[in-house]
Structure formats: structure tokens, C-alpha cells
Amino acid sequence: MTSAGGASALDGGAILANARTVAPVLREEAAANEQGRRLSARTVEALRSTGVFRMAMPRSWGGPEVDIRTQTDIVEELSAADGAAGWCAMIGSDGGFYTSALDDEVARKLYRDLDAITAGWIVPAGTLRRVDGGYRLDGRWQFGSGCTHADVIIGGAVVYEGGSPALTDEGRPETRVAVLPASAFEILDTWTTTGLAGSGSHDYRAHDVLVPAEQSFRFRDLRERRREGVLYGWPGMFFANLPGVPLGIARGALADAEEILATKPGALGRPPAREDPRVRADLAEAHAMVGAARSYLYGVLDELWAVLEQGGEPSLRLRACLVGAYKHTIRSCRDAVRLLADVIGSASIYRDCPLERRLRDLTTVSQHLMGQPKIMEMAGALWLGVDRALARNPLSAEGLI
């Protein structure tokens, strides 16, 4: 396996190959991750050894600056082995995107190691009170996936000045994202969930923490292109590899189901499962559901990349495709694995059945903002160019979708 320790030849293809190499380790550790409600040290080191956490780091730093399609492939490969590990890899690699909004000198002090791991929530659940030289941060955030092994943690917050929210030129409350060493935050043991239990997505909080002004950013800073490169050409790019997680989990479930059905006897004198027409039809249907979602997603990602390569701006219609692809991929993968569980029957409810965890993981992924049906209202507004709806939605107003 190619080492992540500073090897300049570590490109997207090498990271993908490394992901395939460590897959057995991730499968072996999956149960321990779930029981511990965080990734095990062995899992974290296996992921770090692949180079996945540096995949969005810029070439100017010696990073691989992996294109978004290959990033999604890598996340998919890891998630096929263990959904929680793939989820944490996807989140943990976001530092390469966030640092594009910071001055390079500041960013390198936070990320001295290209394989440093990022965690945190961009949602403005905290407050940043303006003080000389920066801000004082208070708040409590949810969904700190990977926070138990992170090196850097972020927290979105509303800016306050003189006891009142500061306003942007558009009259909206100003929001910023603080970027700090993980030691600045307290981790709260809250992650007891249905699925992705091993991701350690605990709540975390900060109290009166000093944030130097240069260690915070607005999403408009991402739009201002402080860093060259196609990967940093659109502020919402850090969302784009997320669907690799459900695709990988579903791909793993399809392989599990085929293995189970190959030897599953028929019930009550019926022929073996592999000879049952309903079983065959439903397995084929599940493959088609996942395959169709995958093809649509990767087609949209390819179109987005091509537009950015040419120096263009994603159109509203292309952004509509992307938002729709997020939800469609997540829910199609969940529904396909649910169908597989029905095909396998009562055996799928036991913890020793590999589909049981995969279905729970996808149930949890489906509750992410990008997997919920309400996100399609925004996709529809993008399709129709409804300006009021777009301006009202913070993600759209900031250019993140």
C-alpha cells in the first residue's frame, strides 16, 4: 500500500487503491466501532494510512487535490466496507475545502499535517462576539462526526456586536465558521443512535473561546476564490462527495445479499432462494435502483466538473440536478437495501446478518439534510428559478446548493 506520509505520488488513484487494501480491516473493526460508538484507533490509523484525509488538500501544499468524482469513488469504496468509517472519512477530509477560505499561512498552522482530520458542523448554532483581534465563541453543536479523533473542529456561529446580531449588506444575520484545534472544544457523549453508531457524531461545545479573526470564514470567502484549482471553484463542493456513503453501503449490501441468497434454503418445501422468481426479480430490482442512482449522480458530478474546468458558473438547472441527485441517491440506496432485507426475510433482523447494520446506517444517513424530502423543494425552486425561495434559503443564498 502506498504510504500517506508525505508521498508526492499519492494521487486519487493511489488513495482509491489504498482504500481497497484496508477494506478488510474496516470490516473487522465495524462491530467494535459500533459498540464503542466511535471509530477504533485501528480504524482511524487504517483510514489515515490511505491518504483519504488529504484528498482535498491543494497541490500547492503538496496535496493530491483529487477531483470530486474520484473523491466520491474513494468514499464509496470505504463505505462498502463500513458505513461509519466511510462517513467519517468523508467528513474528515473537508479541511482541504474549508482552508481555501483562509489565508494560506493561517491554514498551514492549523493543518501542519496534510492527513489532519476535520470534524464539525457548519450550521450557525453558536455565537461569535466581536472583540479586539477576533471573536469569543460560545455554543453547542450537534453531529460532530469523527470529533473523538479529530485534529481540527469547526463551528458555525452568528456574529454579535454590542449585544445584537451583526447584519450583512443584504440585511441577514452575519454568520461565520470558526476553525480551531480540537482541544478548544468539549466533546459531549450524546451519540446513541439507530445507525452510523460507530461514527462518534457526538455533540460538542465551546465556552468563551478566543477565535482569532483570521481563523474564521464566511461562505462568501469560498466564492472569492482565494485558492486556484477546479476543486475550489464552487463553494458547495464539500457536499458533493457525500452520496459516496450511501452508494458504498448499498453496494456492500448487494454483495452480502447475493452471498446469503446463494445458499439460503427455501421455506416450507419451496425451492432454494436462488431459484425463487420473486427473489430473483427483487434482487435485480435492487441492483437497478442503486445502479440508476449511481449513474445519475456521477453524470451530474461530471457535468459540474466540466463547467468548472471551463471557468464557468454552475447554472441553476445544474445545481437543481445536483441537489436532486443527493436526495435521490440517499433514498434510493436505502429503499434498495430495505427491499433486500424483505427478500432475505426474518434472517435480516438479527445482528449477525450484515444487512441489518447496513439498513440502520442508511436509515440514519437518510435523515441528513441532503436526504430529506424537503430538500427537493429547493431543487424545484432552482429548476423554476424562483428568486424569492432561493434568497430565503441560507444554503442557496450562500451558494452552497
Q: Summarize pLDDT for 240-288 with one digit per residue, the tens.
A: 999 999 999 999 999 999 999 999 887 777 789 899 999 999 999 999 9
Q: Kindly state whether residues 139 and 23 are assigned to the same domain.
A: no
Q: What is the mean pLDDT of residues 340-357?
A: 94
Read off the pTM: 0.95
State whether 187 and 277 are in the same domain: no
- Please give the Cα distance from 209 to 144 (Å, whole number): 18
DSSP 38-64: S--HHHHHHHHHHTGGGTTS-GGGT--
Which triple of cell numbers denotes residue 150?
A: 479529530
Residues 40 and 123 in one domain: no
- Classify residue 110: in a domain, yes or no: no
Sequence-separated (6 or more) residues with CB below 8 Å from residue 393: 378, 381, 401
Print the domain residue range for 163. Answer: 118-218
Residue 196: inside a domain = yes
Write out pLDDT tens, residues 77-93.
999 999 999 999 999 99
- Does one domain contain both 304 and 161? no
From 161, 303, 291, 313, select the one nearest 225 (Cα to Cα): 313
Are 131 and 261 part of one and the same domain? Answer: no
Mean pLDDT of the chain: 94
Tell me: do 270 and 366 sit in the same domain.
yes
Read off the pLDDT of each residue in 350-355 and give the average, rounded to a whole number: 94
Same domain, 128 and 273: no
CATH number of residue 357's parent domain:
1.20.140.10
Q: Give per-residue burial for 51-72: e unless 16+ CB within 10 Å, then b.
A: bbbbbbbbeebebbbbbbbbbb
Domain assignment present for 317: yes
What pLDDT is recorded for position 220? 82
Residue 230 in domain? no
Span 387-400, pLDDT tens digits: 777 777 777 777 78
* 258, 324: one domain: yes
Residues 262 and 351 in one domain: yes
DSSP track, 58-80: -GGGT-----HHHHHHHHHHHHH
Count the domains in the chain. Answer: 3
pLDDT higher than 50, residue 7: no
User: How far is Cα 147 from Cα 322, in angstroms, rounded to an integer?
Assistant: 28
Residues 266 and 134 in one domain: no
